[in-house]
Amino acid sequence: MNIPLKGKASNQITKNISSNIVAVKPSDFRNFSPKLLVKEGDAVLAGSPVLADKKNLSIRLCSPVSGTVKEIVRGEKRKLLAVLIENDHKNEHLQFTTLSKNAKKEEIIERLLEGGLWPTIKQRPYGIIPNPGVEPKSIFISGFDSSPLAPDLDFTLKRETEAIQAGIDVLNLLTKGGIHFSLNIDNFAGSPFHRIERVIFHTFEGPHPAGNVGIQINHVDPINKGDIVWTTDLYSLAAIGKLFTRGIYDVKRIIAITGPRCINPSYVECLPGMCMSDIKEYSDENSEVKNNNLPVRWISGNVLTGVNVGANGYTGFFHNQVTLISEGNYYEMLGWIKPFRSKKFSISRTYFSWLNCKKQYELDTNTNGDERAFVMTGVYEKVLPMDIYPTYLLKAILAEDIDNMEALGIYEVIEEDFALCEFVCPSKIKIQEIISKGIDLMLKEMA
């Protein structure tokens, strides 16, 4: 199902951002317990390690810019939230030696860890940083993004195909199972990635979540108990490619600024960890063409899985779009019974939005109702194309029944796969939060 949200980015790059401050946020990486490797005032280069994982100190996160460490941001119970680095705009990179083509597997893993790109690989089950000592069954990569207002990867990464190919060649040495690469069937030949070599191609058709790698795995080669599969995304692949061909940590990327409250939806070139204030002119809140008085929510990522970071927050590492939507903190008199609510969108036919399939909506964050118990059935299945019974899995998680969670397929899912279920849920249940709890519980039990 595609959510017809207004504010898709037009295919042009309208700004090249060189942020003054960038953030490295450990919370972008699941199951990463940060240990500081720098202190405030330290000088760093692009590619210098900033944080390491307490459970395995060789897993590191690196600074994307050269400059000095400005601030270590901590939250409740001194939880480390972010390391802010002040950019000196000199763009000096830590130089790694390039590896020869017949490098050994261990050397490659070593370089990925050193270069701070190991955490860009995610392990299924659970969507965590993989253990460098375990070889995966295979690696899955989705070549398109189907989420609402998603960046057009064909556009944003067309210059990076060589780096992506290099990244693929590197990863191919880490698994015997090969690399599965999925493309959208509608645009297979038009995609710059269909010429990529040494991968196993798959095509998927249909609306979101067809582009979710979890759905693709479920259709190609579902994960069983004991299986380890890796996934990564094209942006990370390009960065891996550059680490091995040019020997630098370069994560500069083109991301989409989108959403109904964005005045010029388009692409910008920036670094992950950029501050939202760098793109403040894209919000209609700060301009004269303001079309309503509701406050703007700044989402790093898409409307289904992104994070509300606020107008002065920092983008997440894996978020390749920013979405600006209205906060929905208003009351609507008898809204639930009104036959026509032309500004609201619903997948169900209890509204008339299905009659006008071309319309794009300015949706906001109102929940459109209060949270209730599970009542309706068959709603989630329509937007979850996996061989899984979602309600049963969710109830097993709520009951903390590990055996049943395992039997019902907890290994095959992460939060993003259930995002659409959460969107359509008429009981307004926080489904991604439940899945997240389930995964945390599994990690705790299995540790």
Partner 1 sequence: MNILRKIIDNVKPTFSKGGKLGFLHSTFEAFEAFLFVPDSVTTNGVHIRDALDLKRTMSVVIIALMPALLFGMWNTGYQYNLSIGGSMTFWQMFWFGFLKILPLIVVSYVVGLAIEFTSAQIRGHQVNEGYLVTGLLIPMIMPVDIPLWILALAVAFAVIIGKEVFGGTGMNIWNPALLARAFVFFAYPSQISGDKIWIAGLSEGHGIVDGFSGATPLANAMSGASLPSFSDMFFGFIPGCVGETSKIAILIGAVLLIATGIASWKIMLSTVAGALCTGLLLNAVAPPDPASYLNIPAWYHLVMGGFAFGAVFMATDPVTSAQTEKGKWIYGFLIGVIVIIIRAFNPGYPEGMMLSILLMNTFAPLIDHYVVQSNIKKRLKRAAVIVK
Which residues lie across from 262 on neighbouring strands?
283
Query: What is the pairing mode between strands 229-232 and 56-62?
Result: unpaired
Residue type, 16: N
How many other C-beta atoms are found inside a 10 Å radius of the C-beta of residue 368? 17
- Distance separating alpha carbons of residues 302 and 317, to the nearest angstrom: 13
CB nearer to partner 1: give 71 or 227: 227
For residues 169 and 364, which CB has a smaller minimum distance to partner 1 in the complex? Answer: 364
Query: How many Cα atoms are found within 13 Å in the side-chain-facing hemisphere of 331?
Result: 2
Helix (H, G, I), strand (E, B) or coil at 22: strand
Sheet holding 34-36: strands in order across? 34-36, 49-53, 56-62
Please say which residue, 176 or 198, places its beta carbon nearer to partner 1.
176
Site for partner 1 in 4-43 (CB under 8 A): 5
Among 58, 180, 177, 56, residue whose Cα is nearest residue 117: 58
Which residues, numbered 370-389, are part of the site for partner 1 (CB under 8 A)?
370-378, 381, 387-389
Contact call for residue 342 and partner 1 (CB under 8 A):
no
Q: Which is nearer to partner 1, 115 or 260 (CB)?
A: 260
Q: Give residues with Cβ within 8 angstroms of 338, minimum separation 6.
A: none
Does residue 161 interact with partner 1 by CB under 8 A? Answer: no
Q: Which pair of tokens denotes residue 286?
A: 């700060």
DSSP string, 44-70: E-BT-EEEEETTEEEEEEE-SSSEEEE
Pick from 4, 366, 437, 443 the residue near partner 1 by CB under 8 A.
366
The CB-side HSE value for 32 (13 A sphere, CA atoms) comes to: 31
The answer to the question of residue 350 lying near partner 1 (CB under 8 A) is yes
Task: Considering only the stretches 27-35, 103-111, 198-206, 407-415, report the one whose residues sit in contact with partner 1 under the rule CB under 8 A.
Answer: 407-415
Size of the site for partner 1 (CB under 8 A): 76
Supply the Cα-derived Rg of the chain in whole angstroms: 22
Shorter beta-carbon distance to partner 1: residue 52 or 425? 425
Binding partner 1 (rule: CB under 8 A), the pick from 190, 207, 310, 335 is 335
Does position 330 bind partner 1 by CB under 8 A?
yes
| Residue ranges in 263-302 that form contacts with partner 1 under rule CB under 8 A | 297, 299
Of 334 and 357, the one with the shorter C-beta distance to partner 1 is: 334
304 scored as a contact of partner 1 (CB under 8 A): yes
**Cis before 209? omega within 30:** yes
- d(Cα 423, Cα 409) in Å, to the nearest integer? 21
Cβ proximity to partner 1, 203 vs 346, nearer residue: 346
Q: Which tokens go with 220?
A: 């190609």
Is residue 347 close enough to count as binding partner 1 by CB under 8 A?
Answer: yes
In the complex, least distance from residue 41 CB atom to partner 1, rounded to whole angstroms: 34
Q: Please tell me whether residue 165 binds partner 1 under the rule CB under 8 A.
A: no
Q: Which of 37, 157, 424, 439 binds partner 1 (CB under 8 A)?
A: 424
- Minimum CB distance to partner 1 smaller for 271 or for 303: 303
Q: Are 104 and 230 in contact (CB under 8 A)?
A: no
CB of 248 to partner 1, least distance (A): 35
Q: Which stretch binds partner 1 (CB under 8 A): 106-114, 154-162, 240-248, 324-332?
A: 324-332
User: Residue 283 or residue 305: which is nearer to partner 1 going by CB?
Assistant: 305
CA 184 – CA 173 distance, rounded (Å): 26
Residues 110-149 within binding reach of partner 1 (CB under 8 A): none
Alpha carbon distance 220, 200 (integer Å): 11
Contact status: 356 vs partner 1 (CB under 8 A): no
C-beta closer to partner 1: residue 202 or 341: 341
- Based on CB atoms, which residue is closest to partner 1, 227 or 281? 227
| Sign of the C-alpha dihedral computed for residues 183, 185, 188 and 153 taken in this order | negative
Q: 194 to 253, contacts with partner 1 by CB under 8 A?
A: 222, 224-227
Which residue in 134, 289, 333, 355 binds partner 1 (CB under 8 A)? Answer: 333
Instruction: State the residue for tokens 């509608």.
Output: 186
Among 112, 153, 431, 439, binds partner 1 (CB under 8 A): 431
**What is the Cα–Cα distance from 118 to 130, expressed in whole angstroms?**
8
Q: What is the dihedral of CA 70, 17, 250, 321, to 10 degrees?
A: 100
Task: In angstroms, give the least distance from the CB of 343 to partner 1.
Answer: 9
Q: Nearest approach, Cβ of 382 to partner 1 (angstroms)?
A: 9
Among 16, 287, 312, 329, binds partner 1 (CB under 8 A): 329
Work out whether 367 is an interface residue with partner 1 (CB under 8 A): yes
Among 199, 419, 439, 442, binds partner 1 (CB under 8 A): 419
DSSP string, 259-289: STTBSS-EEEEE-TTBBGGGGGGGBGGGSTT
Measured distance CA(437)–CA(86) in Å, rounded: 35
